[in-house]
Amino acid sequence: MSEEVKINKKTQFMRLRQFYLYFFNDLIWDLRLGIHTVFSDYRGMNRTNYGYDPTPYQVLQKLVKSGWIRKEDTLVDYGCGKGRVGIFLNNQIGCRVIGIDFNERRIRQSNSNLIRYYKNKSRSLYSPRDDNESNPDDFKPKIQFIHSKAEEYVPDEANCFYFFNPFSTKIFQKVFNQIKDSYDRNPRKIYIFFYYLSREYRNYFPTNNSLVLVDDIDCRKSFLSSKTLYKLQIYTLRE
């Protein structure tokens, strides 16, 4: 056996080993949180709204460690799928999260996961509003999953927005316009998070002059890959 063949076999073995470690890590975190989010779901997808692929927990752990999201923040997860991002970030940071998905069945799955999560952890579903913490009737959920078209929903109190190729850039432009309109109504520091930009998005971004890259979190080591797609990019609005 040649040295080159030995190296190739070793590389293949290491990548296979890393895949199983990554998959096992996802299973462990699902068990910890009491939810079911491991498997992808492409049912109901179309040319503009794509299927569900869960963001790996290893990537979400890097996002938590980066410090870009704080407890007092409100994050919107577009194309939330089965709710992994929202539940994990709330669990690790304590931030408020709103998941949006056009697929009603996946929203039902998200809400089922949410019920299991709170039942498993015995946490309160609600957090008091900032302006009236003493009023028990003025509470808002820490985690919400809402059935809605992405381009029709942007809460003015949200300051963080998460995307993992949930839909076409045509829809994203409409969502982005909503975010900018929300900023005009309620000026605040806004952060937009993208994981694993597809070719469609990589071609689109140079045409959008309103976004400014503020951080680039490399996730390649987690997957033993040289692909630059394995990264989290964090943007803010150009002022």
**Alpha-carbon span 88 to 85, nearest angstrom:** 5
Q: Could you tell me how many residues make up the chain? A: 239
DSSP designation for 220: G
Q: Give me the half-sphere count of Cα atoms (radius 13 Å) on the Cβ side of residue 73.
A: 23
Q: Tens digits of per-residue pLDDT, 50-109?
A: 999 999 999 999 999 999 999 999 999 999 999 999 999 999 999 999 999 999 999 999
Report whether 68 contacts 152 (CB < 8 A).
no
Domain count, the chain: 1
> Tell me: the pLDDT tens digits for 182-204?
999 999 999 999 999 999 999 99
Taken in order 146, 150, 151, 157, is the CA torsion positive or negative?
A: positive
pLDDT recorded at residue 22: 76
pLDDT per residue as tens digits for the range 10-24: 445 445 556 557 788
pTM: 0.86
Question: Which domain range does residue 47 map to?
Answer: 3-237
Supply the CATH number for residue 213's domain.
3.40.50.150
Burial class (CB in 10 A: 0-12, 13-18, 19+), 49: middle
